[in-house]
Amino acid sequence: MMGVIIKVRRLFGLAPFEHDSDHWKSQRSSAIALFILGYWFVYQLLFFINDASITDIQQWMAQPLNSVLLALTVLYTFYHSELGLQVITEDYIESKSTQITILYLVRTIRLFVIVLTFISLMRI
């Protein structure tokens, strides 16, 4: 049970930055989830969103399955991105304080984006 809770907190950006094997495993599992969600979104772009009107897209977005998958896509995109950007800053930026500043900036944007997505999807 504890394992599930920490995983959900990590997905929502409500857990501390991960390191070592936790980071390694999360980067892989989020990659697999995001692969599926990403290609689902590309499929929707090509076969639906592409030539739909705004009203059509609003209706599409209001469907429970689509809004859940969109929310998951945003959650996993910014989870996976943060894990990746963490590795890149650690590899290429020498100053520890700059690394931390960038990570907190990325985390802040991530939380903002998650809140924006959820209030938007709940409103529609």
Integer distance in angstroms from the first to the last C-alpha of the chain?
A: 32
Asked whether position 86 contacts another protein by CB under 8 A, the answer is no
**Which residue, 14 or 58, has its beta carbon nearer to another protein?**
58
Cβ–Cβ under 8 Å, residues 10 and 26: yes
Cβ–Cβ under 8 Å, residues 13 and 107: yes
From 1, 16, 20, 97, residue interacting with another protein (rule: CB under 8 A): 97
The span of 1-9, 11-19, 57-65 binding another protein (CB under 8 A) equals 57-65
Site for another protein in 25-54 (CB under 8 A): 28, 31-32, 35, 38-39, 42, 45-46, 50, 54
**Which residue, 20 or 94, has its beta carbon nearer to another protein?**
94
Measured CA to CA in angstroms, residue 9 lies from 3, 12, 14, 15, 24 at distances of 10, 5, 5, 5, 17
Closest distance of CB 19 from another protein, Å: 13
| Residue 12 burial (C-beta neighbours within 10 Å; 0-12, 13-18, 19+) | middle
Among candidate residues 105, 113, 85, the one with its CA nearest the CA of residue 27: 85
Interface residues with another protein (CB under 8 A)?
28, 31-32, 35, 38-39, 42, 45-46, 50, 54-55, 57-58, 61, 70, 73-74, 77-78, 81, 84-85, 88, 90-92, 94, 96-97, 109, 113-114, 116-117, 120-121, 123-124
